[in-house]
Amino acid sequence: MTEYEVSVQQLNDLLTDESGLYMMPSKDFNEVYPKIYVGNMCVATDVMRLQRLGVTHVLNAAEGNSLMHVNTNAEFYAGTGIVYHGMPASDTDHFDLSVYFEEGADFIQKALAHKNGKGQVYVHCREGYSRSPSLVIAYLMLRHKMDVRTALAMIRQKREIGPNDGFLRQLCQLDDRLVAEGKL
């Protein structure tokens, strides 16, 4: 391991409490970065609540109709003024979420720039615990030049999260790539 490589274990250490336990989210959603909310499917399917929050964009990191997915799409939000984008990601160690890192970062960036910086984005999966926080961590790394530890710790301060080890490994690989490219 080179001096800049981060391990999955180091990231898991940042995710657990003093007893080494993972905590499930205590709220349906949290603002994890200015104008970026991470949350669960309950809020994602409550258009009135999203509108009260001032959400202009929704990124569904679990699009699909199986039990591990959230069955919403652009039609679900039609006429609400909310811009939708979906990614059919599965919350398994072997799923390659990294193929969505750039696409997710682009969508979040566009959402925040909406109406001269007045946009707000709700990034969700079923629980707001693994897929959606992983995409927000990648966004912070790609667009705000944060290393993986800083991005993960920042989000963990605001919300209980627990990306699976496969996603953590992919975020470590992104960290390594950004360091090698001189972008971190």
Residues with catalytic roles: 125
Residue 98, token pair as written in the block:
């990294």
In total, the chain counts a number of residues equal to 184
Q: Tell me how far apart the alpha carbons of residues 94 and 52 are, in angstroms, rounded to a whole number.
A: 37
Residue 90, token pair as written in the block:
């599965």
In Å, how far are 41, 68, 146 from 127, measured between CA atoms? 7, 10, 25
In Å, how far are 35, 61, 156 from 120, measured between CA atoms? 5, 16, 20
Residue among 131, 141, 113, 12 nearest 61 (CA): 131
Per the CB < 8 A criterion, the answer to whether 169 and 7 are in contact is: no
Q: Tell me how far apart the alpha carbons of residues 61 and 42 are, in angstroms, rounded to a whole number.
A: 14
Per the CB < 8 A criterion, the answer to whether 88 and 64 are in contact is: yes
